[in-house]
Amino acid sequence: MQTEDPRIVRCVEEATIRDYSLRSNDNLHVKICDLTQFYSPVSGGVKRYVHEKIAYISNCSPDDRHVLVIPGAKNEITTNGRSRIYSIRSPLVSRISRYRALLNLRAIEEILEREHPDLIESSDPYQIGWKSVAAGRALSVPVVGFYHSHFPEAYLRAGTKFLGTRGSQRAMKLTRAYVRRLYNHFQATLVPSEELAELLFEWGVRNVRPVRLGINTALFKPVPHDAAATRHFLNISRGQTLLLYAGRLAGEKNTQTLFQAFALLRQRHRSKFHLLIIGDGPQRRKVQQLQRRAGNVSWISYCADASDLARYYRAADLFVHPGVQETFGLVALESQACGTPVVGIHGSYMDRIICHDQKGWAQENSPEALAQAIEDFSTKKLSALGQAAAATTERLYSWPRVFNELFCIYSEVRANYRQS
């Protein structure tokens, strides 16, 4: 039987005392708790989502409070605006991505018992998801799940060559049953696209709610004349087309196809294109190999400053997104918000957030098709495409608008839960 970690108990008790003080001074409306293990100092979409929620609660929802529970290198509690962040010491599973496995479920239980949130949101389809369901039942509070990653598609399809067609089909069938079983325990399953919501409904998940994600449009926006300095820093020659990819370097992101496509472009055009890669992951060695072979490749393993990332978006002529298993595609939205159009491969859930003409995108997942799409798209009036996309993105995908819609769903879920 797992014993209580006295350091966690002490941290939770100290935080609870502070919380009682806050309750006596503030008109507390609702406390939301986010649980996720898809979080690291260098992680992307989920981390950005929860931190934008923290900012929204601090700036736009002053009657609400927030709790975030994540894995970390040590047990600690920090505050960020109106949010309290619990880090639970967890083993490292990747030195590159710095993801950790949050295995101390007893610590999560202790935090939830003392914080007693009004609504729990789980961003994890594994042990944290099941713990969230159990905790919600014990505390008599509703629990929602956010289906950020379509993990059956991302991981099982890639295993076809090892399992064989019949083995992969069997594994996919079992995974669909698992998804149906877990997510039907939630009061609602939040999904970042209409198409994915329809797919999960076909799988038998009956409580699906499409929710758009967003971007910080105050930061990611067109800024005239700031691209030249960045291009000079990257040593981009006049007349070169700067291609940008930002994201994990991993099989599920299909980055191998991007690398091969760029090698083809290099063979055809020598120095016409320069590729900037921002990100890290299991395929980092392939980037290093591409750099040695091609030369006109720049690699930044991690960009910690969002304002720097925005400058890289604006400096690029074209953002290349090779993903075919995306549930949303946040980086593609950020790029468009900065006025840089996107080229990729048709057929993922990301298609619906492209705010400009996609004619010329690759019709199949192959290096040859992607290279041709990049080549064809680079001849378009990219600045005009980018300007139109930026205007649409700002109108539809600002975080305040997104969270206004999400918090309406929270209110509806809580009302339905009280009536049930």
* Predicted confidence (pLDDT) per residue in 237-287, tens digit: 989 999 999 999 999 899 999 999 999 999 999 899 999 999 999 999 999
Q: At what angle do helices 160-183 and 127-139 cross, to 10 degrees?
A: 10
| Mean pLDDT, the chain, whole residue set | 89
**More reliable by pLDDT, 234 or 166:** 234
3-state secondary structure of 18: helix
pLDDT tier at 24, thresholds 50, 70, 90: very low
Same domain, 301 and 371: yes
Q: Is residue 22 over pLDDT 80? A: no
> 85 forms bridges with which residues in the sheet?
68, 78
**More reliable by pLDDT, 103 or 20:** 103
pLDDT given at position 155: 56
> Is residue 220 in a domain?
no
Same domain, 233 and 324: yes
What whole-number distance in Å separates Cα of residue 299 and Cα of residue 312? 12
Q: Rounded to whole angstroms, what are the CA distances from 410 to 33, 112, 404, 417?
A: 12, 18, 10, 10
- Region 129-157: what's the mean pLDDT? 88
> 275 forms bridges with which residues in the sheet?
243, 297
Reading the block at residue 67, the tokens are: 């709790």
Residues 145 and 132: beta-carbon distance below 8 Å: yes
- Rounded percentage of the chain residues whose pLDDT exceeds 70: 90
> Is residue 1 in a domain?
no
> 189 forms bridges with which residues in the sheet?
145, 208
pLDDT given at position 295: 80
Q: Is residue 375 over pLDDT 60? A: yes
What whole-number distance in Å separates Cα of residue 135 and Cα of residue 29? 21
> Is residue 221 in a domain?
no
> Is residue 107 in a domain?
yes
The CATH number of whichever domain residue 291 belongs to comes to 3.40.50.2000
Same domain, 172 and 236: no
What is the CB neighbour count within 10 angstroms for residue 278?
20
pLDDT tier at 83, thresholds 50, 70, 90: very high
What is the CB neighbour count within 10 angstroms for residue 136?
23
**More reliable by pLDDT, 366 or 44:** 366
> 273 forms bridges with which residues in the sheet?
241
pLDDT given at position 149: 82
Helix, strand, coil shares of the chain as percentages rounded to 5? 50, 15, 35
Torsion of CA 34, 328, 179, 158, to 10 degrees: -120
What whole-number distance in Å separates Cα of residue 261 and Cα of residue 258? 5
Same domain, 17 and 136: yes
Same domain, 264 and 374: yes
What whole-number distance in Å separates Cα of residue 93 and Cα of residue 252? 17
pLDDT tier at 156, thresholds 50, 70, 90: low
What whole-number distance in Å separates Cα of residue 225 and Cα of residue 328? 30
> Is residue 389 in a domain?
yes
Q: Rounded to whole angstroms, what are the CA distances from 2 to 5, 34, 105, 106?
A: 9, 23, 9, 7
> 79 forms bridges with which residues in the sheet?
84
- Region 221-229: what's the mean pLDDT? 89
What whole-number distance in Å separates Cα of residue 12 and Cα of residue 208? 33
Domain that holds residue 152: 6-214+399-419
> Is residue 329 in a domain?
yes
Same domain, 253 and 138: no
| Burial group, residue 330, by CB count within 10 angstroms (0-12, 13-18, 19+) | buried
pLDDT given at position 25: 38
pLDDT given at position 18: 43
pLDDT tier at 41, thresholds 50, 70, 90: confident
pLDDT given at position 267: 93
> Is residue 219 in a domain?
no
pLDDT given at position 26: 40
Helices (H), ranges, 85-236: 105-115, 127-139, 151, 160-183, 194-202, 227-233
Q: Domain count of the chain?
A: 2
Same domain, 79 and 113: yes
Q: Rounded to whole angstroms, what are the CA distances from 229 to 226, 232, 300, 316, 377?
A: 6, 5, 17, 12, 24
> Is residue 308 in a domain?
yes
What whole-number distance in Å separates Cα of residue 396 and Cα of residue 8? 41
Same domain, 203 and 58: yes
What is the CB neighbour count within 10 angstroms for residue 175?
17
Q: Is residue 95 over pLDDT 80? A: yes
Q: Rounded to whole angstroms, what are the CA distances from 309 to 48, 326, 331?
A: 13, 20, 10
pLDDT given at position 135: 98
> 71 forms bridges with which residues in the sheet?
88
pLDDT given at position 23: 37
Q: Rounded to whole angstroms, what are the CA distances from 169 to 31, 152, 156?
A: 42, 11, 9
Same domain, 192 and 247: no
Same domain, 208 and 85: yes
Q: What is the pTM of this model?
A: 0.83
pLDDT given at position 379: 95
Same domain, 403 and 391: no
Same domain, 381 and 412: no
Q: Is residue 28 over pLDDT 90? A: no
Which tens digits make up the pLDDT trace of 298-334? 999 999 899 999 999 999 999 999 999 887 888 999 9
Q: Is residue 360 over pLDDT 50? A: yes
What whole-number distance in Å separates Cα of residue 178 and Cα of residue 174? 6
